[in-house]
């Protein structure tokens, strides 16, 4: 693998001292136009836009995933679609999409490691320099900094590892969120990521929804407060060369899904508002817009009976133009969620495009309707040829395409990508693995833990006890206690649980992997847990990626802690008193599944007689 510093220095040799921001070719095919970077951004945007072909403009309107080669190269090693991972569908290499579709926005799923990604991104920017106009690439990513025990969520590979966003909400401290965002921003910059496909500020008002772990919980004012700090940490006071732009999602709030089913899939196409709380879900987005979020992503679902047509958000002109553009005066980038135009067809299953409400339309007509609704960019798609055809056939004006291209170019200029597309070669070793960042991430996992029950002041435990553990790494536990092999030998048991879920029936592995369904423990699993607690006093730690229904477990546990993404060491540091839990529940814990089914999907804290209310959390005795 090439030395990162050598690669950057050699790439920069082709840049003039005053720095060109894009380039044009004269009739002889030679570079002859340089633009002074001191010119106002809008002048630079308009100047470059005037030089772009229709095909180049169309390519700007699409962002799709790219494989990252193990050796840091950018060549399409197979010449075909790379094998997809659990985190995303199959994908062409970025280079192939640049060559075939004139694209220059890409998002990343699984990566070999952070160092390889930094080398790969340098190669990609170097290749972009050699294109006709030298338009730099913009790389985007879903969150990469949160600990998760789910194989269907992005793992914090080489990055500092923090609690889930729910955990940040449990702590509820704006300064902690700001610190997290600043650290994550610097680590993104070190590998070339310039757009964060987050924060996710949907409200967790339907407790069965699978995407709750990525939110700040159910309370709109809390989510709004934390969203502001989050965006400030990633973007700064204004967008610049040290910023990572936030694409805040999922407008106008994806929480109120019917029965908690997710509209990634064809079995759930609409979200419902039985309590009339549509406006409540807008509160965090109002804060994000006020904070200057660079981009916004609408969600997949149809806002049932909230607008003049029941079509999904990105096809819905009342949502995109009427609400987001006109009411809120948002002039940043609006990018659809992934996969609204084309079906994903594999030998084993077909994943339909999430074109809910417009399934009957052809691919090209879906593109047309979304553009007419007001979106700028299509996520998870590589079909600019549809835009080219729409313009050439007179169905969409080139002036309309220019509106969106102008926003996308402006963001590239604001981020300084035209002036310095390459990573600072000293940044990687300075930032990745920085001890203070790693320590804060680990501490956040402990701080977010929420003490729900502490009978007879069982916690914190004293070191050296004989302990039986379940779903806890024995080698880690041995650092805190004498680990025994059976409950009968133990003075106390420590067990870790996960919020229950029920796989849906589907050929789509992504659908089967989403945590849908009931939230309570049942049958043999519940019996086994209760038998253990009747054998030995038990400390229960439950991971709340959704609000679990645990009345029986709560009753029998000697102590009950909730975690929001924590490694075993972070958990045991709290159990044995090395850290104090600071968390307060970011949602309520319902008392029964009957209460869950009767609550209104769009209304926060709406279940009858909750086991623990929003904001509940105990402290250790002094």
Question: If residue 488 lies in a helix (H) or strand (E), which one and from where to where?
Answer: none
Which pLDDT value is given to residue 427? 85
Which pLDDT value is given to residue 148? 83
Q: Is 436 exposed, middle or buried (0-12, 13-18, 19+ CB in 10 A)?
A: exposed
- Min mean pLDDT across 32-36, 170-174, 243-247 is at 32-36
Which pLDDT value is given to residue 91? 63
Render pLDDT for 561-598 as a digit per residue (tens, 0 to 9): 999 999 999 999 999 999 999 999 999 999 999 999 99
Read off the pLDDT of each residue in 522-544 and give the average, rounded to a whole number.
Answer: 98
Domain boundaries, the chain: 4-431, 435-598
Backbone angles phi, psi at 483, to 5 degrees: -90, 125
Read off the pLDDT of each residue in 84-113 and give the average, rounded to a whole number.
Answer: 80
Q: In angstroms, rounded to a whole number, what is the distance separating the alpha carbons of residues 572 and 609?
A: 31
DSSP 250: E
Q: Catalytic one among 337, 376, 520, 602?
A: 337
Read off the pLDDT of each residue in 23-50 and give the average, rounded to a whole number.
Answer: 63
Read off the pLDDT of each residue in 6-33 and give the average, rounded to a whole number.
Answer: 40
Whether residue 7 has pLDDT greater than 80: no
Residue 269 CA, distance from chain mean position: 21
Whether residue 100 has pLDDT greater than 70: yes
19 vs 415, residue with greater confidence: 415
Question: What share of the chain has pLDDT > 90, as a percent?
Answer: 87
**244: its two tokens:** 């990572």
75 vs 217, residue with greater confidence: 217
CB 139 within 8 A of CB 121: yes
Of residues 317, 321, 320, 313, the one with CA closest to residue 340: 313
5 vs 433, residue with greater confidence: 433
Q: In angstroms, rounded to a whole number, what is the distance separating the alpha carbons of residues 2 and 71?
A: 9
CATH level 2 (architecture), domain 435-598: 3-Layer(aba) Sandwich (3.40)
Confidence of residue 491 (pLDDT cuts 50, 70, 90): very high
Whether residue 149 has pLDDT greater than 80: no
Whether residue 269 has pLDDT greater than 80: yes
- Cβ neighbours for 527, distance < 8 A, ≥ 6 positions apart: none
Which pLDDT value is given to residue 39? 75
Whether residue 68 has pLDDT greater than 90: yes
Confidence of residue 424 (pLDDT cuts 50, 70, 90): confident
Q: In angstroms, rounded to a whole number, what is the distance separating the alpha carbons of residues 343 and 428?
A: 38
Q: SS3 for 452?
A: strand
CB 218 within 8 A of CB 203: yes
Q: SS3 for 619?
A: coil
Residue range 4-431 forms a domain whose CATH class is alpha beta
Confidence of residue 92 (pLDDT cuts 50, 70, 90): confident
Whether residue 79 has pLDDT greater than 50: no
In degrees, rounded to 5, the angle at the alpha carbon of residue 563 between the alpha carbons of residues 559 and 567 is 110
DSSP letters of 193-224?
A: EEEE---B-----STT-TTGGGS--S-HHHHH
What mean pLDDT value characterizes the chain?
92
17 vs 122, residue with greater confidence: 122
CB 570 within 8 A of CB 604: no
DSSP letters of 359-396?
A: TTS-HHHHHHHHHHHT--BEET---HHHHHHHHHTTSS
CB 247 within 8 A of CB 297: yes
CB 99 within 8 A of CB 56: no
Q: SS3 for 496?
A: strand
Which pLDDT value is given to residue 622? 81
Tally of CA atoms within 13 A in the half-sphere of 201 that contains its CB: 33
Q: In angstroms, rounded to a whole number, what is the distance separating the alpha carbons of residues 452 and 592?
A: 17
* Dihedral angle sign, alpha carbons of residues 349, 351, 357, 361: negative
- Min mean pLDDT across 366-380, 420-434, 478-492, 579-593 is at 420-434
Which pLDDT value is given to residue 153? 64
**482: its two tokens:** 């004498």
* Dihedral angle sign, alpha carbons of residues 382, 388, 393, 397: positive
Looking only at the bridges linking them, the beta strands covering 344-345 and 350-351 are antiparallel
CB 603 within 8 A of CB 488: no
Q: In angstroms, rounded to a whole number, what is the distance separating the alpha carbons of residues 539 and 303?
A: 43
In degrees, rounded to 5, the angle at the alpha carbon of residue 616 between the alpha carbons of residues 615 and 619 is 120
pTM across the whole model: 0.93
Tally of CA atoms within 13 A in the half-sphere of 486 that contains its CB: 3
Residue at token pair 């979304």 = 370
Read off the pLDDT of each residue in 235-264 and give the average, rounded to a whole number.
Answer: 97
Count of other CB atoms within 10 angstroms of residue 138: 23
Which pLDDT value is given to residue 284? 98
337 in active site: yes
């Amino acid at each position: 693998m090439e030395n990162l510093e050598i690669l950057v220095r050699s790439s920069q040799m082709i840049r003039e001292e005053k720095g060109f921001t894009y380039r044009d070719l004269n009739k002889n095919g030679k570079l002859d136009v340089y633009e002074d970077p001191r010119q106002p951004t809008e002048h630079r945007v308009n100047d470059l836009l005037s030089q772009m072909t229709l095909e180049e403009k169309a390519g700007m309107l699409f962002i799709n995933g790219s494989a990252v080669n193990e050796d840091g190269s950018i060549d399409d090693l197979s010449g075909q679609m790379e094998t997809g991972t659990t985190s995303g569908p199959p994908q062409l290499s970025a280079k192939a999409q640049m060559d075939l579709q004139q694209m220059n926005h890409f998002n990343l799923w699984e990566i070999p490691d952070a160092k390889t990604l930094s080398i790969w991104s340098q190669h990609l920017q170097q290749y972009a320099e050699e294109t006709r106009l030298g338009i730099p690439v913009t790389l985007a990513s879903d969150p990469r900094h949160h600990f998760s025990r789910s194989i269907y969520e992005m793992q914090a590979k080489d990055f500092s590892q923090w609690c889930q966003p729910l955990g940040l909400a449990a702590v509820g401290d704006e300064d902690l969120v700001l610190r997290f965002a600043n650290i994550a921003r610097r680590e993104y910059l070190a590998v070339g990521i310039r757009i964060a496909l987050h924060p996710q500020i949907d409200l967790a008002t339907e407790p069965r929804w699978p995407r709750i772990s990525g939110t700040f919980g159910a309370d709109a004012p809390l989510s709004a407060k934390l969203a502001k700090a989050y965006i400030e940490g990633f973007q700064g006071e204004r967008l610049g060369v040290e910023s990572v732009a936030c694409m805040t999602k999922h407008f106008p709030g994806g929480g109120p899904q019917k029965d908690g089913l997710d509209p990634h899939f064809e079995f759930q196409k609409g979200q419902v508002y039985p309590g009339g709380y549509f406006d409540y879900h807008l509160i965090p987005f109002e804060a994000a817009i006020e904070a200057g979020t660079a981009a916004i992503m609408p969600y997949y679902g149809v806002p049932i009976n909230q607008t003049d047509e029941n079509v999904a958000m990105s096809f819905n002109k009342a949502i995109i133009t009427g609400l987001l553009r006109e009411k809120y005066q948002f002039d940043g980038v609006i990018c659809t969620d992934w996969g609204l135009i084309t079906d994903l067809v594999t030998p084993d299953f077909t994943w339909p495009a999430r074109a809910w409400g417009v399934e009957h339309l052809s691919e090209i007509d879906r593109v047309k309707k979304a553009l007419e609704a007001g979106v700028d960019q299509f996520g998870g798609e590589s079909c600019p040829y549809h835009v080219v055809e729409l313009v050439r056939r007179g169905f969409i004006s080139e002036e309309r395409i220019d509106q969106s291209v102008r926003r996308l170019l402006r963001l590239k200029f604001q981020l300084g990508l035209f002036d310095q597309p390459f990573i600072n070669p000293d940044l990687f070793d300075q930032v990745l693995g920085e001890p203070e960042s790693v320590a804060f991430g680990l501490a956040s996992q402990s701080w977010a833990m929420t003490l729900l029950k502490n009978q007879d002041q069982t916690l914190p435990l004293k070191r050296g006890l004989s302990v039986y553990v379940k779903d806890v790494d024995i080698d880690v536990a041995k650092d805190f206690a004498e680990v025994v092999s059976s409950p009968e030998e133990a003075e106390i048991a420590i067990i870790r649980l996960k919020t229950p879920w029920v796989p849906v029936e589907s050929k789509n592995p992504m659908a089967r992997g989403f945590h849908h369904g009931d939230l309570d423990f049942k049958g043999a699993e519940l019996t086994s847990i209760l038998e253990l607690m009747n054998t030995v006093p038990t400390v229960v730690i439950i991971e709340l990626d959704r609000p679990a229904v645990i009345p029986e477990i709560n009753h029998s546990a000697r102590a009950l802690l909730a975690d929001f993404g924590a490694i075993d060491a972070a958990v045991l540091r709290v159990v044995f008193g090395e850290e104090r839990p600071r968390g307060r529940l970011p949602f309520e814990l319902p008392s029964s599944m009957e209460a869950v089914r009767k609550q209104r999907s769009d209304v926060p804290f709406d279940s009858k007689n909750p086991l623990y209310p929003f904001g509940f959390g105990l402290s250790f005795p002094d």
